Structure 1
Amino acid sequence: MSGKLYLVPTPIGNLEDITFRAIRILKEADVILAEDTRTSAPLLKHFGIEKRVFAHHQHNEHKASSEIVRFLKEGQNVALISDAGTPAISDPGFFLVREVLKNELPVECLPGATAFVPALVNSGLPSDRFTFEGFLPVKKGRQTRLKALVEEERTMIFYESPHRLLKTLEEFIQYYGEDRQASVSRELTKVFEETVRGTLSEIKNHFENNTLKGEFVICVAGRE
């Protein structure tokens, strides 16, 4: 029998957010694939998980996927984790899943942590319909993406890094208006978790005068 590829969500901050099932799968897997083995080492050590761990990231996933398929065909169970959250959501994983499915091998994704869900629910913006945009292109295609969302009526969700946050908020004001309602969450589940709500202009003013640290999730109301 072939092995199975498991996509295992890991905490985005608070280690208590991992599930009992995720810990069991990681302990039972023959091989663990980690986006960054140095980042994952403390997590695995904390839960007493001692397994073969290989790096699997955007720079090697195309080359490594064929070897992982071989592992599965040999009957080995493989667990994929990212640095934080659910694999393949703005993290490596999609290409591997596609290759495994092409080879008609089983894939199972466990439910668990992902940053945009608590940010959206906590934002106070409509959550019945939304579009997840992840990270905007840094250069090529960025303006095209922003323009394409001008008429979007659903709540829009973006990921952003600290050094680009203010620039991104400025662009949102340019395309969507300074009075558009929004929410910015940072350091979700961690000690210094913060969510700032208000108009895009108010939020920009807040972060111009406060420390920019952590990973950010931006929720922007859709066009009325």
Structure 2
Amino acid sequence: MPTAPGCLWVVATPIGHLDDISARALATLRAVDLIAAEDTRHSGALLRHFGIDTPLTALHEHNERAAVDALVRRLVAGASVALVSDAGTPLVSDPGFRLVRAARAAGVRVSPVPGPCAAIAALSVAGLPSDRFVFEGFLPAKAAARRVRLRELAGEPRTLIFYESCHRLSESLDDAAGILGTDREAVLARELTKRFETVLAAPLAELALRVKTDADQQRGECVLLVAGHADTAEAELAEGRRVFALLREELPPAQAARLAAAITGAPRRRLYGAEPAD
């Protein structure tokens, strides 16, 4: 008789304070046959702290493509596997997407064990609008590409959430102030749940100056949140034109304009400067 497939558990782990791990996460990590970890050394220290001796295997951005097939074979054969990242919720700017997709395609159950996430933790204390927001992950490391991406986001009306390397934080804040606006409201959430946790709220130019003149703010794990563009109509038009440009590569102008307007709420007449023919 064939063995029933196992389960891939996607397990959130602490972003700093170890007490933030859930009882269910600990029980899952103890019960599974194998833990796939972004960094086995980092996750090994976490497991030792809680007295867990479940075997570990590496699954990171450099080996994910090669490792997925072997892990899925084990899951299909009935093994249970937990996926963890270095900190927080796996797949949120971390490896794991290919494994989750391959497991689901193979008929394996994939189940979340929810918990900490730096982006959501930062949003919860930022005091910025949280009913609608956009998670952008890391901005491009190179200045030119970073500025292009910021220009694309300049009209976005929703709160923007970025992860940023402490080594690039000052440069990214300068670029954000210059492109999004010096007075745009922003929040820097640094080292959340850790000993030197700080949450600084200020206009972008002021925040950039604060970080530039305080070396302590250029250390640790950083989440940058920026208020959305206040002019909703202009933001909708900017997004509409972006979507129209993409659709126009595959569709006639009239159809592309109608779809872009329906998707974004932008006025159809203004998407490419003239009323499209019906």
Give TM-score, length-normalised by structure 2: 0.79
Indicate conservation of the 8 Å contact 2:150/2:180, yes or no: no
Partner of 2:251: none
Partner of 2:261: none
C-alpha displacement of 1:2: 0.7
Partner of 2:29: 26
In structure 1, what is the Cα distance between the partners aligned to 2:200 and 2:71? 42
2:108 corresponds to 1:102: no
Partner of 1:166: 170
Give the alignment partner of residue 154 of structure 1, picking from 140, 155, 158. 158
Indicate conservation of the 8 Å contact 2:151/2:180, yes or no: no
Moved over 6 A (4+): none
Indicate conservation of the 8 Å contact 2:141/2:168, yes or no: no
Question: Which deviates further from its counterpart, 96-105 or 26-35?
Answer: 96-105
Partner of 2:241: none
2:185 corresponds to 1:177: no
Partner of 1:222: 228
In structure 1, what is the Cα distance between the partners aligned to 2:55 and 2:31? 11
2:195 corresponds to 1:191: yes
2:45 corresponds to 1:42: yes
Partner of 2:75: 72
Look up the equivalent residue of 1:48 and give its one-letter code.
G
Determine which structure has the larger helix proportion and give its number. Answer: 2
C-alpha displacement of 1:107: 0.3
Give TM-score, length-normalised by structure 1: 0.98
C-alpha displacement of 1:15: 0.3
2:118 corresponds to 1:115: yes
2:139 corresponds to 1:136: yes
Q: Aligned to 1:33, what secondary structure does the other structure show?
A: strand
Which residues of structure 2 form unaligned runs of 5+?
231-278
In structure 1, what is the Cα distance between the partners aligned to 2:54 and 2:224? 36
Q: Aligned to 2:167, what secondary structure does the other structure show?
A: helix
C-alpha displacement of 1:41: 1.2
In structure 2, what is the Cα distance between the partners aligned to 1:144 and 1:104? 40
C-alpha displacement of 1:195: 0.6
C-alpha displacement of 1:141: 4.1
Which residues of structure 1 form unaligned runs of 5+?
none
Identity of aligned residues (%): 49
In structure 2, what is the Cα distance between the partners aligned to 1:12 and 1:144? 30
Give the alignment partner of residue 207 of structure 2, picking from 199, 203, 207. 203
CA-based RMSD of the aligned residues comes to 1.0
Q: Aligned to 2:219, what secondary structure does the other structure show?
A: coil
C-alpha displacement of 1:136: 1.1
Q: Aligned to 1:59, what secondary structure does the other structure show?
A: coil
In structure 2, what is the Cα distance between the partners aligned to 1:57 and 1:25? 21
In structure 2, what is the Cα distance between the partners aligned to 1:142 and 1:179? 20
Indicate conservation of the 8 Å contact 2:187/2:201, yes or no: yes
